[in-house]
Amino acid sequence: MEEERKEHRQKMKKMEAEMEQVFEIKVKEKMQKLKDSETDLQRRAEQMKKSLEQQKAELEQRELLSLKRKDCGRVRIRVMRTCEWYSDV
């Protein structure tokens, strides 16, 4: 009877050790998965940031071009009015 109890305790300790190992492996896997997810999120955030910066630069370029065109149009109107004024004189 005592021998059976001893064997049972050893069996339980062995099972407990195995369960602890499995638990540690699962925790390491989950931690690695979290780390990988964080790295991926950081990479995607950087890509989005670069994309937004590029879009901003393009919009600023378009705005500048638009302003230049407006200024050029105003200059043309002034020149045309000046030419008309001189032709009237």
pLDDT digits (tens, 9 = 90+) for 19-56: 999 999 999 999 999 999 999 999 999 999 999 999 99
Domain that holds residue 16: 1-63
Is 79 a domain residue?
no
* Distance (Å, whole) CA 55 – CA 3: 77
Is 77 a domain residue?
no
Residue burial 30-59, b: 16+ Cβ < 10 Å; e: rest: eeeeeeeeeeeeeeeeeeeeeeeeeeeeee
pLDDT of the residue at 70: 74
- Mean pLDDT over 61-82 rounds to 73
Is 40 a domain residue?
yes
Is 53 a domain residue?
yes
Is 50 a domain residue?
yes
Total domain count, the chain: 1
Average per-residue pLDDT in the chain?
88
Q: Using alpha carbons only, what angle is made at residue 62 by residues 80 and 75, rounded to the nearest 5 degrees?
A: 15
Q: Which element (helix H / strand E) includes 42?
A: helix 2-88
pLDDT of 65 over the 90 cut: no
